[in-house]
Amino acid sequence: MTEFFRPLIVLLTVALCAPLHAADTHGQQIEQELQSIRGAIQLPTPPAVRPKEIRKVRVCVFDPIGAHGYLSNAAKDVRLETLKWGYDLQLQTYTSEKIAAEDFKAGRCEAAIISGLRARLFNKFAGTIDSIGGLTTEQHHRLMAEVLASPKISPKIRAGEFESLGAVPIGPAYVFTNDRSVNSLTKAAGKRVAVLDYDPVQARMVSQIGASPVGVEITNVAGKFNNGTVDIIAAPLAAFEALELWKGLEPRGAIIDYPIVWPTVQALVRTRDFPPEIGIAARWTVHANFDLLLKYIRMAEGTVPRKYFEPIPDADKPKYEEMMRQARISLRDEGYYDAEMLSIQRKIRCRVEPSRAECTDKKE
């Protein structure tokens, strides 16, 4: 059973990062690039002997497009391959991440593929990887992938009922606003800001700057921004073309040129159902393929015209960092974030930038 990690990591390293280019004018070129990435993925050698009996494994897959989305189609391709190895992935696609997570929690699936933010509800240690401002650069996430690939981390990430097989970053998330003049915290006061219903971090930070939080789901946030129901959202650049976010930016909106988080997608399993070797090998595979992930991320970022980016005043950057740090500390003390993961993230940031003030002020 230890080879079961292989199909899940194929999903993690490619399908989860595949853009949803239903109406993308660059679709053919991007698909060729993705095929190249798929062909270069490093995976451990599959088992020489297939299991005597086919084992059915139910997987709850969140795909906002549905059964014909890129993720769902990629999962179907993987399923055909894993049948040769003796594993039959029973894929259940959900356009609602909330329902996918609820079914996984209820035991209707042995595995689930959901966002890192939602993963916190199952594994606080792994879910804290998506903490606001915790990891905001390629180098930060490269070091995190290295940490997670170590067998030493396995007992911590398997400490509860659920284990994360890997956290795949999907690129930096930025603030999108329909008003280019909103390039500072004070100017956001009074604006309607989209926040995920289940993430109190976002609502708290929005309220702190005097803006109005508006509850949304991943599946409707783009629509609310594009039709003007909300003025500000946070989204990864990979979603720009897929969700047609330029509609919400026109005619005078902007992307604030300051990443606030690198969201991840994670595959979760129940620890009682799978041995530790699966998670260790899976997280190693994410680490081994990190450069391929970055290739996709940069490819997606290249589709966003630079005309939309708006710099923020240098004087505001420390304010952003401190606001996010205080939010992390507060939510750690309330039990929302995992203290050990926050400490790991601080060490990573300080390894990249030893001159940061937090490197001597070890509150995290």
Q: What is the pLDDT of residues 183-239, one digit of tens each?
A: 877 788 899 999 888 777 788 878 888 889 898 888 888 899 999 999 999 988 878
Least confident of 63-72, 136-145, 167-176, 278-287: 63-72
For 2-169+265-307, CATH number out of 3.40.190, 3.50.50, 1.10.1760, 3.90.550 equals 3.40.190
| Continuous segment of H or E residues that includes residue 82 | helix 70-83
8 Å CB contact between 171 and 238: yes
Q: Is the pLDDT of residue 112 over 60?
A: yes
pLDDT confidence of residue 11: 39
Is residue 132 within 8 A of residue 201, CB to CB? The reply is yes
Q: Where do the H-state alpha helices sit in 85-194?
A: 97-105, 116-119, 124-127, 138-149, 154-157
Q: Where in the chain is the domain with CATH 3.40.190.10?
A: 173-261+316-351
> Which residues neighbour 144 within 8 Å (Cβ) at sequence distance 6 or greater?
129, 135, 167, 344, 345, 348
Is 173-261+316-351 CATH 3.40.50.620? no
When pLDDT is averaged across residues 54-81 and rounded to a whole number, the result is 74
Predicted local confidence at residue 50, as pLDDT? 53
Dihedral over alpha carbons 299, 127, 154, 163 (to 10 degrees): -100
Query: Of 8-17, 81-90, 211-220, where does mean pLDDT reach its minimum?
Result: 8-17
* Residues 248 and 150: beta-carbon distance below 8 Å: no
* Residue 1 scores a pLDDT above 70: no
Gap between the Cα atoms of 96 and 267, Å rounded:
16
- How far is Cα 299 from Cα 267, in angstroms, rounded to an integer? 23
Average pLDDT for the chain: 81
| Measured distance CA(268)–CA(273) in Å, rounded | 11
Q: How far apart are CA 269 and CA 206, in angstroms?
A: 33
Residues 237/19, Cβ–Cβ less than 8 Å: no
At 346 the pLDDT is: 95
pTM of the model: 0.84
Tokens representing 140? 């930060």
Pairing of the two strands 264-270 and 232-236: unpaired
Between 209 and 352, the more confident residue is 352
Which residues lie closer than 8 Å to 290 by C-beta, 6 or more apart?
Answer: 141, 142, 145
Name the pLDDT band for 291 (thresholds 50, 70, 90): confident
State the Cα–Cα distance between residues 323 and 133, nearest whole angstrom. Answer: 9
Residue 4 confidence (pLDDT): 40
Let me know: does 93 contact 66? Beta carbons within 8 Å. yes
Phi (first) and psi of residue 55, to 5 degrees: -105, 125
Task: Tell me what the mean pLDDT of segment 3-19 comes to.
Answer: 40
Lowest mean pLDDT among 62-66, 212-216, 266-270, 315-319: 62-66
pLDDT for the residue numbered 352 = 95
- Locate 217 and state its tokens: 């789901």
At residue 57 the predicted structure's pLDDT band, cuts being 50, 70 and 90, is confident
Ranges 91-95, 175-179, 210-214, 282-286, most confident: 175-179
